[in-house]
């Protein structure tokens, strides 16, 4: 009756037989087992029978209300009777076999692991120990160990390690007992200190006594043995012990590969590879693998596995091992410094540039003296470090100093020093008294139109094109198939975000008669470019009678190198002597009102470059017309990466097939390659070009090396080069072998850009996305510690693509993204000035001169006042300012295309454009880094530094464009006219869509452990308004990708400095993808110049809505459109529950169906054979 009452009080059903039995056991425990042990045996036997026959019983014991597990463990701890212990071990095996980790978690939480380990020690003192007892005990330990994070530490402190090892040594032929012991040993080995201790105790050698060649017997035991050995070999000291066994492992693998013809034992074969993978994490292991002919063995076995999809885990692991063991090669360069050098008048006191200048002569900066992938001799118990790393990983870069997150209250420069910048703000004091409002042709400009060139234009190339008949080139506006797209009507747009699929644009022109209110409020459905054709008037210059340019023959002609121009007689003579070189230029003026080839050639004369370029690339001369069709994100072909890697491995296995022939080398510019037409011809000696070296490795395969940024030894990403001499239909492969980033959008559907001259002269002058079998992966070229910021053992990455050419004797250009040169900007600004209407105030000033001697333009755009009345002049002067900048990073050419769309819209004649000019004064620096753009840099200026990390303390000598741009903003702050909006246009190489980075005190604090009061976190949420507007309007814009967290690594960027020092709340970086979109109207499409220019125009319309929606009189009418508070809270909840930093939102790409190794160095690749790929290690990379 007492037992019945006890169970009832605990809320357990009184009719449960098992609970009654537990009550009896509990009584026995209180009596310290002094009674006859036979009673305990009988009770535990009955409980075991109930558990084996009734699932309901197992559930009752493991229920939260039950004390069954405590009773079982107490009995196990107190009893000395062997049979009772065995019964309880049987019970535990039954209970923990099903139910997953929850049941084991309950067992561990109640101290079960410690009790089992005490039993191990107790049993070891018996001689000999009971075999059945040890079997059942280790079976339970094998189940519990993987779920107990402290299992290894507990076992070591308890002394159970040696017990299990001794049991193993004594029972090598007892396969029944051997299996659970090996399983426990595998769990022990997951702890580094345990693995080292076991290795010293001879366990590694013991494992090699158990594993062996192909056999149909004891396959389960062999599989567990291999897994245990693999766990032990994760310790580098154990890997050193196993180096001598590498030939044995390769032999065993070959034997299983040959005999397992029905692929029933893939896990055993994978286990052997896992052991080889861990051994080859050390240098000695890699050497032993090479000496044992492991490359050839794994290469041949992997090729034999390729037809069977289920063998992919073996192929992937083999590929990983071969890549690690591939001998590190030297880049085919004498130095990683840029080919070109610009001497700085003042070298920075510290940093990479100073190290570059102070580097002693004769130092080899291409490779290190030794391979640093060597092994640490001592290993420490770091089991808690991983947990700490995960705990703090997300927040390391987030700013935690609240003082650095607050605006500065004092200005760092005296106003007297800033007064010199008053001349750039004449509009703030302009009275227009001398301006004639009756003369429609007069306006405001600071730059006169450049004179047009009427001379023949020499456009260089590697090879002359054949004669084209007049019908092939539409010189008089005739359009061949397909019809070119009309010019972008960027000044005429309607408002709202089209949520349709991926169809073509649907254009609709706004009606001038319609009221602005109706356009902005009632037309809130779509923003699209007007494709009705170029605006009439201003921009078109008749070039129908322009003489066609002459292409140079085999030797590239030089433009203006000696100041000579071809006379009319020479021109005519040239035509007669070589008619095959006549090139009919398409009349791009009819397609591109802002492009004028003659004006481009005139403008290029004043562009200064360090290499003193004297050639002009065809695409820059002809111009680019956006293609009519959509270009979809490329679907990745399954297995493409491993195919490319295997082709690379063939170089080592079959070295006689490799040509290794240098066909282009900027370091030896005088070296002319004569090959009888067997090789492609390359060229990059033109503005923005970047290709340092080309090496022909096979008949149709070329390794390409990019040039470093000037005064730098890295930043290899931007490329732009010319190719000619191709064969039609040949499968060419191009490998850019010195990329540095650990991942790229080339792995997620992005393609390279190609421009065909044959297509251009046939009426299709355009860049097109092209290339197949594109992938990006770590290669075998060693990256020196000098180039890797002090880190040793790093490798470069390869971006590879295949290409088949369609035209004989074509000249093609390849680029990372749509090129936009400094000369193109100068030409566009000149043409925009010609488009200016009398109602537009446009002034172009030269902000400063760059280190390379190029001018940095500063534009002022607003609306002219309607008259000289005081009210009109006052309204004109007091318009809020918007400050825009772009292209601080030369390789982010998409930023210039977005800026082009902004400028065209601002200079347009639509009512929206006019209203925008009336609402704001725009100050625009369209290219912050002209020198970097001109010289083909990717990231830096001629100072060798990232200009977007110099805003806190820019140098007038080293960073003049940043220094003077910041000075403009400081001047505005000093006169209480800080901009309403500051936005710096950028491109992003890791993410899709267009998005913004802003600055928020509150959101930054949320990402840290800072304790701050609500008054300290008081903040106007207006910084979210503009991105929210864009997310409602622009199809390419993604609010989910935006971030407003301030990070330490970004504290010297434009947006953070302008926010903190100038006090601009709406300070942004607008990032445009280099790839495409994964949401909205453009989902699944690669982004093109049309979409980028559209984004620039939509940004303008968003500013107009910002003006209206922040107006006190209008705000309440549109509050439902900008529910920023709730939106902010949604984002906060989403972030805090999933990711440690908003900066990482939407940063990860979907996983592939194959294992892809982008960023892992030797030894830290994830093992993903069971699920073909876990997500790639796609590191965050903001290019702000």
**Residues assigned a catalytic role:** 1071
CA distance 1106 to 1126: 19
Cis bond before residue 482 (omega within 30° of 0)? yes
Give start and end residues of each alpha helix (H) in 611-676.
618-622, 640-653
CA distance 624 to 963: 34
Cis bond before residue 128 (omega within 30° of 0)? yes
> Rounded to an integer, what is the distance from CA 1122 to the centroid of its chain?
31
CA angle 1049, 1054, 1057 (to 5 degrees): 80
Q: Could you tell me if 647 and 760 are in contact, meaning their C-beta atoms sit under 8 angstroms apart?
A: no
Q: Could you tell me if 852 and 609 are in contact, meaning their C-beta atoms sit under 8 angstroms apart?
A: yes
Q: Exposed (0-12), middle (13-18) or buried (19+): which is 1087, by Cβ within 10 Å?
A: buried
CA distance 256 to 921: 76
Count of other CB atoms within 10 angstroms of residue 960: 21
Q: Exposed (0-12), middle (13-18) or buried (19+): which is 358, by Cβ within 10 Å?
A: exposed
Give start and end residues of each alpha helix (H) in 557-697.
568-577, 597-604, 618-622, 640-653
Count of other CB atoms within 10 angstroms of residue 536: 9
Q: Could you tell me if 858 and 844 are in contact, meaning their C-beta atoms sit under 8 angstroms apart?
A: yes
Give start and end residues of each alpha helix (H) in 211-280.
219-232, 236-242, 246-259, 266-279
CA distance 463 to 20: 96
Tell me if residue 722 falls in helix, strand or coil: strand
Q: DSSP letter string over 1008-1077? A: S-----TTTT---GGGGHHHHHHHHH-TTB-GGG-B---BGGGTTSHHHHIIIII--SEEEEEEEESSBB
C-alpha closest to that of 843 among 825, 829, 860, 857: 860
Q: How far is CA 878 from CA 427, 843, 860, 979, 1169, in A?
A: 10, 18, 14, 12, 65
Q: How far from each other are the two terminal CA atoms of the chain, in whole angstroms?
A: 77
CA distance 722 to 1101: 38
Q: Could you tell me if 710 and 940 are in contact, meaning their C-beta atoms sit under 8 angstroms apart?
A: yes
CA distance 996 to 1018: 22
Q: Which two tokens stand for residue 187?
A: 């769990």
C-alpha closest to that of 1165 among 805, 742, 878: 742
305 half-sphere exposure, CB direction, 13 A CA radius:
30
Q: Could you tell me if 1105 and 1029 are in contact, meaning their C-beta atoms sit under 8 angstroms apart?
A: yes
Tell me if residue 359 falls in helix, strand or coil: coil
CA distance 671 to 938: 26
Dihedral sign (CA 739, 744, 746, 747): positive
Q: How far is CA 729 from CA 443, 680, 724, 948, in A?
A: 55, 14, 14, 44
Q: Could you tell me if 1080 and 1035 are in contact, meaning their C-beta atoms sit under 8 angstroms apart?
A: yes
CA distance 142 to 154: 14
CA distance 394 to 1012: 20
């Amino acid at each position: 009756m007492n037992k019945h009452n006890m169970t009832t009080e605990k809320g357990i059903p009184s009719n449960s037989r098992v609970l009654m039995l537990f009550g009896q056991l509990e009584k026995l425990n209180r009596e310290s087992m002094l009674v006859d042990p036979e009673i305990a045996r009988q009770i535990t036997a009955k409980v075991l029978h109930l558990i084996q026959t009734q699932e309901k019983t197992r559930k009752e014991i493991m229920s939260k209300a039950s004390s069954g597990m405590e009773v079982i463990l107490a009995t196990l701890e107190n009893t000395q009777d062997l049979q009772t212990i065995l019964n309880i071990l049987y019970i535990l095996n039954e209970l923990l076999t099903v139910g997953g980790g929850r049941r084991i978690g309950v067992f561990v939480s109640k101290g079960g692991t410690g009790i089992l380990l005490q039993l191990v020690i107790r049993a070891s003192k018996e001689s000999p120990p009971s075999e059945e007892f040890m079997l059942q005990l280790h079976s339970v330990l094998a189940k519990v160990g993987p779920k107990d994070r402290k299992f290894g530490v507990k076992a070591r402190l308890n002394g159970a390690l040696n017990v299990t090892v001794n049991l193993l040594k004594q029972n090598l032929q007892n396969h029944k007992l051997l299996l659970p012991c090996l399983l426990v040993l595998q769990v022990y080995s997951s702890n580094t200190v345990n693995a080292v201790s076991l290795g010293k105790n001879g366990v590694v050698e013991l494992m090699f006594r158990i594993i062996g060649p192909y056999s149909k017997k004891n396959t389960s035991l062999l599989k567990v043995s291999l897994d245990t050995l693999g766990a032990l070999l994760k310790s580098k000291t154990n890997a050193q012990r196993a180096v001598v066994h590498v030939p044995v492992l390769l032999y065993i693998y070959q034997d299983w590969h040959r005999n397992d013809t029905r692929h029933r034992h893939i896990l055993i074969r994978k286990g052997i590879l896992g052991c080889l993978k861990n051994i080859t994490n050390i240098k000695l292991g890699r050497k032993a693998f090479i000496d044992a002919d492991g490359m050839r063995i794994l290469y041949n076995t992997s090729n034999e596995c390729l037809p069977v999809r289920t063998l992919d885990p073996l192929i992937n692991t083999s590929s990983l091992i071969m890549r690690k063991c591939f001998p590190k090669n030297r880049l085919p360069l004498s130095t990683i410094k840029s080919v070109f050098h610009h001497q700085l008048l003042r070298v920075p006191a510290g940093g990479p540039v100073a190290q570059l200048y102070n580097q002693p002569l004769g130092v080899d900066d291409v490779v290190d003296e030794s391979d640093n992938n060597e092994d640490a001799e001592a290993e420490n118990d770091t089991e808690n470090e991983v947990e700490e790393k995960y705990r703090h990983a997300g927040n390391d870069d987030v700013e935690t100093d609240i003082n650095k997150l607050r605006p500065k209250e004092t200005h760092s420069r005296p106003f007297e020093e800033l007064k010199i910048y008053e001349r750039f703000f004449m509009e703030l004091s302009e009275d227009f008294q001398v301006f004639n409002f009756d003369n429609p042709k007069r306006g405001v400009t600071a730059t006169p139109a450049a004179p047009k060139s009427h001379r023949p234009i020499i456009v260089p190339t590697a090879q002359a094109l054949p004669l084209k008949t007049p019908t092939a080139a539409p010189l008089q506006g005739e359009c061949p198939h397909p019809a070119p797209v009309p010019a972008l009507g960027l000044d005429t747009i309607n408002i709202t975000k089209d949520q349709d699929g991926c169809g073509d644009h649907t254009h609709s022109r706004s009606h001038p008669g319609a009221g602005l209110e109706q356009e902005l409020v009632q037309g809130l459905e779509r923003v699209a470019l007007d494709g009705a054709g170029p605006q009439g008037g201003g921009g078109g210059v008749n070039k129908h009678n322009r003489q066609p340019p002459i292409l140079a023959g085999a030797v590239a002609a030089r433009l203006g190198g000696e100041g000579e121009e071809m006379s009319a007689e020479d021109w005519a003579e040239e035509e007669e002597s070589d008619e095959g070189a006549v090139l009919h230029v398409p009349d791009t003026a009819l397609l591109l009102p802002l492009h004028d080839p003659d004006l481009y050639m005139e403008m290029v004369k004043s562009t200064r470059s360090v290499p003193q370029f004297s050639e002009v690339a065809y695409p820059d001369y002809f111009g680019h017309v956006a293609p009519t069709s959509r270009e979809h994100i490329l679907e990745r072909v399954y297995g493409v990466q491993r195919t490319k890697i295997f082709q690379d491995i063939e170089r080592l296995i079959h070295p006689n097939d490799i040509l290794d022939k240098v066909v282009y080398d900027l370091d030896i510019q005088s070296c002319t390659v004569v090959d009888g037409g067997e090789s492609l011809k390359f060229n990059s000696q033109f503005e923005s070009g970047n290709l340092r070296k080309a090496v022909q490795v096979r008949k149709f395969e070329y390794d390409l090396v990019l040039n470093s940024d000037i005064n730098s030894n890295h930043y290899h990403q931007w490329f732009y080069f010319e190719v000619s001499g191709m064969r039609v239909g040949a499968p060419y492969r191009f490998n850019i072998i010195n990329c540095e980033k650990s991942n790229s959008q080339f792995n997620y559907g992005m393609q390279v850009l190609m421009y065909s001259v044959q297509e251009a002269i046939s009426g299709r002058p355009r860049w097109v996305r092209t290339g197949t079998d594109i992938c990006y992966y770590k290669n075998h070229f060693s990256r020196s510690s000098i180039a890797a910021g002090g880190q040793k053992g790093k490798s470069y990455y390869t971006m590879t693509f295949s290409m088949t050419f369609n035209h004989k004797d074509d000249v093609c250009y390849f680029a990372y993204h749509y090129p936009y040169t400094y000369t193109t900007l100068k030409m566009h600004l000149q043409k925009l000035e010609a488009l200016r209407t009398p109602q537009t105030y446009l002034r172009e000033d030269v902000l400063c001169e760059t280190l390379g001697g190029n001018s940095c333009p500063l534009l002022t755009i607003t609306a002219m006042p309607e008259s000289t009345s005081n009210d009109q002049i006052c309204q004109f002067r007091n318009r809020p300012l918007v400050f825009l900048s772009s292209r601080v990073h030369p390789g982010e050419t998409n930023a210039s295309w977005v800026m082009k769309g902004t400028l065209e819209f601002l200079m347009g004649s639509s009512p929206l454009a006019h209203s925008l000019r009336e609402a704001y004064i725009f100050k625009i620096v369209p290219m912050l880094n002209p020198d970097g753009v001109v010289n083909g840099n990717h990231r830096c200026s001629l100072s060798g530094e990232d200009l977007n990390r110099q805003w806190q303390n820019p140098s007038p000598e080293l960073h003049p464009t940043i220094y003077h741009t910041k000075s403009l903003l400081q001047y505005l702050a000093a006169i209480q006219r800080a901009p309403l909006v500051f936005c710096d246009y950028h491109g992003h190489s890791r993410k899709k869509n267009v998005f913004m980075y802003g600055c928020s005190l509150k959101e930054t604090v949320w990402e840290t452990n800072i304790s701050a009061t609500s008054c300290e976190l008081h903040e106007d949420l207006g910084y979210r308004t503009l991105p929210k507007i864009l997310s409602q309007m622009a199809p390419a814009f993604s609010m989910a990708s935006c971030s407003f967290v301030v990070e330490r690594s970004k504290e010297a960027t434009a947006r953070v400095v302008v926010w903190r020092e100038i006090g601009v709340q709406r300070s942004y970086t607008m990032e445009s993808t280099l790839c495409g979109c994964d949401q909205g109207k453009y989902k699944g499409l690669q982004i093109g110049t049309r979409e980028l220019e559209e984004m620039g125009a939509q940004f303008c319309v968003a500013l107009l809505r910002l003006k209206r929606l922040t107006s006190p009189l209008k705000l309440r009418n549109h509050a439902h459109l900008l529910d920023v508070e709730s939106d902010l809270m949604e984002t906060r909840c989403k972030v805090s529950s999933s990711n440690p930093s908003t900066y990482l939102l939407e940063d990860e790409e979907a996983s592939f169906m194959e294992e892809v190794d982008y960023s892992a160095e030797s030894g830290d690749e994830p093992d993903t054979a069971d699920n073909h790929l876990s997500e790639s290690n796609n590191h965050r990379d903001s290019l702000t």
